Amino acid sequence: MAEFAFKIDAVSSGGRAGRLTTPRGVVSTPAFMPVASRGAVRAVAPDELAATGTRILVANTYHLHLRPGEDAVAALGGLHRFMGWPGAVLTDSGGFQVHSLGELRSIDDDGVTFKNYINGAEIRLTPEVAVHIQEKLGADLIMQLDYCTSYPTPREEAERAVEITTRWADRSMKAQKRGDQRLLAIVQGALYEDLREESAAGLVAMDFFGFAVGGLSVGEDSEKMLAAADFTAGLLPEQKLRYLMGVGRPQDLPAAVACGYDLFDCVVPTREGRHGSVLTRNGRLNIQRAEYGLDEGPPEPECDCYTCTHYSRGYLRHLYLAGEGLADRLISIHNITFTQRLMADMRTAIIEDRLDAFITDFAEAYIGAAS
């Protein structure tokens, strides 16, 4: 069984092309992780995901703890077998729900208490419990429990988030028992550079396998998000894995890669699919528009995904307007393929030392089409 490792192969204009080695295979970076919060990517089967170029998924500790529970997942062979997914898996710790379920949780120095949105019962997560759950789930990469703030964040709350997250990182590391998983710490600090510095310094001193940057893409605009991401990347060890959490819009990914991050995740490809938006190099295509009713062409002519090689824009429009679930599936397959191709093209551009030119060309085609 392969050992965990991360190696940088090339750097261009801040972007890094690397290789993340896991027991489930090698993940070429920069890499995008489709979101499988409850153990499945919306509407897309594992074999279809593999065909898009996906090599690693992100699942969610909080949601899997609620249903079916980590004991059930373990009894059914662990997360990979449970999902029927042969590639790598990263599990979030439940820290994002500190942000997204703000009205259903309370935080103290020891952990987080949630109200179960399914049955109203009380759920308690501590750093130790979050690690224990993730060890039972059996993911390859696991995350510390953190205090993820929302936007805007008062300085007093951001200070508390940094202090708590740093202490919880230490507790998470001490709680880890399995040797076939690797733990990542999460830098907090909202948009306060001095707090980002404090958070990174405390975590880097603990020498984790990799470092994630959280508390971004939580309501702030892209300019603020990218500025904070760029600043924080400069605080992290060059040879360690870097994960920018929750970032995955096509207009954000190239600049985020240029900041020096290796892993990304976002629900955008499947969420846009459910809303009839097809991602292409020339911007979004709204499949609902009447002009596509008799369009025999593929969603994106240059794409070789299953959807584009089998179906027309006219057919996808029909499916979407008829409320057929196949529309979600087919558009999501294309959108994930589009995102994975974008990541692969950026990796090639980094290796060939032309990332700047690639970003300029992509922006002119994708963002320019929307202006």
List active site positions. Answer: 92, 265
Burial of 177 (0-12, 13-18, 19+ CB in 10 A): exposed
d(CA 288, CA 273): 12
User: Angle at the Cα of 176 (from 78 to 133), degrees rounded to 5?
Assistant: 40
Residues 131 and 183 sit within 8 Å (Cβ to Cβ): yes
Q: How many residues would you count in the chain? A: 371
Q: Which of 351, 369, 367 is nearest to 254 (CA)?
A: 367
Residues 305 and 316 sit within 8 Å (Cβ to Cβ): no
d(CA 200, CA 214): 11
d(CA 276, CA 198): 43
38 sits in the region (left: phi over 0; alpha: psi -120 to 50; else beta) called alpha
d(CA 273, CA 285): 11
Query: What angle, rounded to 10 degrees, do the helices at 127-137 and 155-175 form?
Result: 50
d(CA 242, CA 368): 29
Q: Position 182: which residue type? A: R
d(CA 169, CA 11): 29
d(CA 171, CA 304): 47
| Cα dihedral 38, 333, 264, 80 sign | positive
Residues 107 and 125 sit within 8 Å (Cβ to Cβ): no
d(CA 243, CA 247): 10
What SS3 class is residue 53? Answer: coil
Tokens of 353: 């030392």
